[in-house]
Amino acid sequence: MRRNIQPIFAVLLIGIFSSIAAQDISNAEYEKPLGKNLFFKIVTDPNVDPRKCAVGMACAAQAVRDGHNVEIFFASHAVLLLQEAYLNALDRRASTPAGTCRGFFSTLVEGGAGIHCSTGSQAVVGVTPDDPDQVLIQGYNLNWSGPQGVVALSCSSEVQLVY
């Protein structure tokens, strides 16, 4: 006599899915593969979508905290994020607590992330490599480049994220 195993199989599947669904994954530990080469490119105009810019910086800062090698390139109007006054005022526009975005940037600097900007995009907002001290955040090495820098950083990375 042949037994019908479909009901038994269904009960087993329901039990498995129920136990998976019951697990609290809100604070789950994610596998953190160390040492990946990550390239973040922020090109969104912070006047159009400040929250997206803040999220990009937050993800780059998290990658640094997780031990990855991070290169971050600011292009187009996202170069405004490198201006002292602009970055300090970004939290209000991005609906983040005061000091949050500046904290992300500090994490990048302190964690040794390579910070790059588009020379042409900086020129559009009135900043050149000859006179950045009056406007840009100080205390880190800013690498000025153009499309060739973006291509080189992309090619040398394992993962690219664009915001």
Average pLDDT, the chain: 86
128's tokens: 């050149």
- DSSP summary character for residue 82: G
Domain ranges in the chain?
Answer: 37-162
Range ranked top by mean pLDDT from 10-14, 28-32, 102-106: 102-106
4's tokens: 């019908």
Predicted confidence at residue 92, as pLDDT, reads 96
CATH superfamily entry for domain 37-162: DsrEFH-like (3.40.1260.10)
**Model confidence pLDDT, tens digit, residues 80-114:** 999 999 999 999 999 999 999 999 999 999 999 99
C-alpha distance across the termini of the chain, in Å: 63
- DSSP summary character for residue 51: H
- Enter the pTM of the model: 0.79
pLDDT exceeds cutoff 80 at 30: no
